Chain A
Amino acid sequence: MHRVVITGAGTVNALGHDVPSTLAAMREGRCGIGPLDFQDVDRLSIQIGGQVRGFEAEGRYNRQQMSLYDRFTQFTLAAAKEAIGQSGLTFSGALAAKSGVILGTAGGGVNTWDQNYRLVYEEGKNRVHPFVVPKLMNNAAAAHVSMEYNLKGPSFTVATACASSNHAMAQAFQMVRSGMAPAMVTGGSESMLCFGGVKAWEGLRVMSKDACRPFSANRNGMVQGEGAGIFVFEEYEHARARGAEIFCEVAGFAMSSDATDIVMPSKNGASRAMEGALADARVNADQVGYINAHGTGTAANDKTECAAVADVFGPHADKLMISSTKSMHGHLIGGTGAVELLACIMALRDGVIAPTIGYEEPDPECALDVVPNEARDAKVDVVLSNAFAFGGMNAVLALRRV
């Protein structure tokens, strides 16, 4: 069994187009959620989201690339460029042969589906661009990362709705820990902020019209975001030998299934996932200083999550910090675990705990230290990152300071 560390990170999300600007925004408690801007937005009852602004794809990709890259792939490649560039790794020879890319996404090329359905159903066109299929397929982003960076090892895409990124990163971690791969590119991405993407979600009646207020008594739903978070997970000795900059260690993970309801979360499922992550990382509950919560801002998730934390951590639950950065970047669905890992890195490496912004009223059912509204300086050694998804699929990652 090998130790696994993070040696590269990249992102595009509503808070910024790279890691430094994202972390700065988190530190400042800035809100990236605002009015949505796309075709037919006025037909929606939900008109806010964490939309990525000012990302000029045409300036980054040539005509042929643009014909193949859905927006979720565009975000992924920009984040991958930052992460892999930062790691200093070049994938060639044996390293290329054994390193792969595992990404999470819930919807894949949703914008491509939406645009082309519009063409054939609304505009009555009888032909669509030949690249529609390779563009919208869920594995497109991972495929292009593999092609761009010469990753010839195991690559695939994982879908577990809002936990997709955590499941993907857990799989990548496993491959490095077991010695199957010396390094893996991992994370996730999502871009569903288009008319069809938001309209589909409205029907569930869980989205907020005004803000994402995790843990607040007056919270009234989730807010969708978009973007990508990409990391390089590397075997520890390999990273050390080449003098790589190490962000933190990925210490363990657990996955559990609620096996109860298709949308309502189960306290038991969440608890088992957190306990499992602690056991896998061989840490005690009282060593955890910070949890990056799933914290969607829905009535159901936040109280269930807090109850699960209380169960797992007992009295220590009152001492640890638990915040939801979804309050700032929105819920990136299949990409959310990846972007939220950045808050974990900031906690471990920089000693800064990201806040839960928009917090207005304490809720007795969420009576934990949710780091309300302002970031906090604190030294923590171990953090957890939670993801509890539709379908009752849970994945929790444990990370350690190095």
Chain B
Amino acid sequence: MSVKDKVIEIIAEQAVLETSDVSLDSTLEDLGIDSLGLVESIFAIEEEFDISIPFNANEPSASDFDISSVQSIIDGIDALIEKQKA
């Protein structure tokens, strides 16, 4: 499965939705994922890809990891995989 498909699967599970309900430009808020849901999603993503995501809930926009949409999350993961696996 591609990174995109895996991320959509993780987010859909967290939001208790079908993967078809999750589009690339959805925001987590659109999908009904609250702050606890967000940290749980980040945990699931770290577990899945064995990466470390620099996210601090106090300053959500401070790090490079952009959580504003599903697409930006996928892009962020791709970048981290490249950086951390190198």
How many Å from the CB of B42 to the closest CB on chain A? 8
Contact for A127 among B16, B36, B40, B46, CB less than 8 A: B46
Asked if A130 is at the interface of the complex by the 8 Å CB criterion, the answer is yes
Asked if A201 is at the interface of the complex by the 8 Å CB criterion, the answer is no
Asked if A131 is at the interface of the complex by the 8 Å CB criterion, the answer is yes
The residue on A at minimum CB distance from B40 is A130
Are A127 and B47 interface neighbours, CB within 8 A? yes
Q: Which of A67, A129, A130 has the most CB of B within 10 A?
A: A130
Q: Chain A residues with Cβ under 8 A from B16's Cβ? A: 63
How many Å from the CB of A116 to the closest CB on chain B? 13
Are A131 and B36 interface neighbours, CB within 8 A? yes
Q: Chain A residues with Cβ under 8 A from B39's Cβ? A: 130
Q: Mark B35-52, 1 if CB is under 8 A from A, else 0.
A: 010011011001100000
Interface residue ranges of A245-271 to B (CB < 8 Å): none
Please classify how large the interface on chain A is, using the bins under 10, 10 to 19, 20 to 34, 35 or more: under 10
Q: How far is the CA of A67 from the CA of B39 in the complex (A)?
A: 12
Q: Chain A residues with Cβ under 8 A from B36's Cβ? A: 130-131
Are A67 and B47 interface neighbours, CB within 8 A? no
Query: Looking at chain B's contact residues, is the secondary structure mostly helix, strand, loop, or mixed?
Result: helix
Q: How far is the CA of A67 from the CA of B43 in the complex (A)?
A: 13
Interface residue ranges of B37-81 to A (CB < 8 Å): 39-40, 42-43, 46-47
Please classify how large the interface on chain B is, using the bins under 10, 10 to 19, 20 to 34, 35 or more: under 10
Q: How far is the CA of A129 from the CA of B47 in the complex (A)?
A: 10
Q: How far is the CA of A127 from the CA of B47 in the complex (A)?
A: 8
Q: How far is the CA of A129 from the CA of B40 in the complex (A)?
A: 7
How many Å from the CB of A139 to the closest CB on chain B? 17
Q: Chain B residues with Cβ under 8 A from A131's Cβ? A: 36, 40
How many Å from the CB of B77 to the closest CB on chain A? 15
Q: How far is the CA of A162 from the CA of B80 in the complex (A)?
A: 50
Q: Chain B residues with Cβ under 8 A from A129's Cβ? A: 40, 43
How many Å from the CB of A314 to the closest CB on chain B? 58
Q: Chain A residues with Cβ under 8 A from B43's Cβ? A: 127, 129-130
The residue on B at minimum CB distance from A67 is B40
How many Å from the CB of A128 to the closest CB on chain B? 8
The residue on B at minimum CB distance from A126 is B52
Q: How far is the CA of A63 from the CA of B36 in the complex (A)?
A: 14
Interface residue ranges of B1-60 to A (CB < 8 Å): 16, 36, 39-40, 42-43, 46-47
Q: How far is the CA of A67 from the CA of B13 in the complex (A)?
A: 13
Q: How far is the CA of A127 from the CA of B40 in the complex (A)?
A: 12
Interface residue ranges of A114-141 to B (CB < 8 Å): 127, 129-131
Q: How far is the CA of A196 from the CA of B40 in the complex (A)?
A: 26
Q: How far is the CA of A131 from the CA of B46 in the complex (A)?
A: 15
Interface residue ranges of A129-161 to B (CB < 8 Å): 129-131
Q: How far is the CA of A131 from the CA of B14 in the complex (A)?
A: 14
Q: Chain B residues with Cβ under 8 A from A67's Cβ? A: 40
Q: How far is the CA of A130 from the CA of B46 in the complex (A)?
A: 12
Q: How far is the CA of A22 from the CA of B40 in the complex (A)?
A: 38
Q: Chain B residues with Cβ under 8 A from A130's Cβ? A: 36, 39-40, 42-43
Q: Chain B residues with Cβ under 8 A from A127's Cβ? A: 43, 46-47
How many Å from the CB of B37 to the closest CB on chain A? 8
How many Å from the CB of A134 to the closest CB on chain B? 9
Q: How far is the CA of A129 from the CA of B14 in the complex (A)?
A: 14
Interface residue ranges of A22-68 to B (CB < 8 Å): 63, 67
Q: How far is the CA of A248 from the CA of B57 in the complex (A)?
A: 49
How many Å from the CB of A3 to the closest CB on chain B? 42
How many Å from the CB of A125 to the closest CB on chain B? 9
How many Å from the CB of A53 to the closest CB on chain B? 30
How many Å from the CB of A73 to the closest CB on chain B? 16
The residue on A at minimum CB distance from B46 is A127
Q: Chain B residues with Cβ under 8 A from A63's Cβ? A: 16
How many Å from the CB of B10 to the closest CB on chain A? 13
Q: How far is the CA of A129 from the CA of B16 in the complex (A)?
A: 18
Interface residue ranges of A186-202 to B (CB < 8 Å): none
Q: How far is the CA of A130 from the CA of B42 in the complex (A)?
A: 9
Task: Give me 8 A-to-B residue pairs in the complex whose CB atoms sit less than 8 angstroms apart, sorted by A's number.
Answer: A63-B16, A67-B40, A127-B43, A127-B46, A127-B47, A130-B36, A130-B39, A131-B36
Q: Which residues of B contact A (CB under 8 A)?
A: 16, 36, 39-40, 42-43, 46-47
Closest 9 CB pairs of A and B: A130-B39, A130-B43, A130-B40, A127-B46, A129-B43, A127-B43, A67-B40, A127-B47, A131-B40
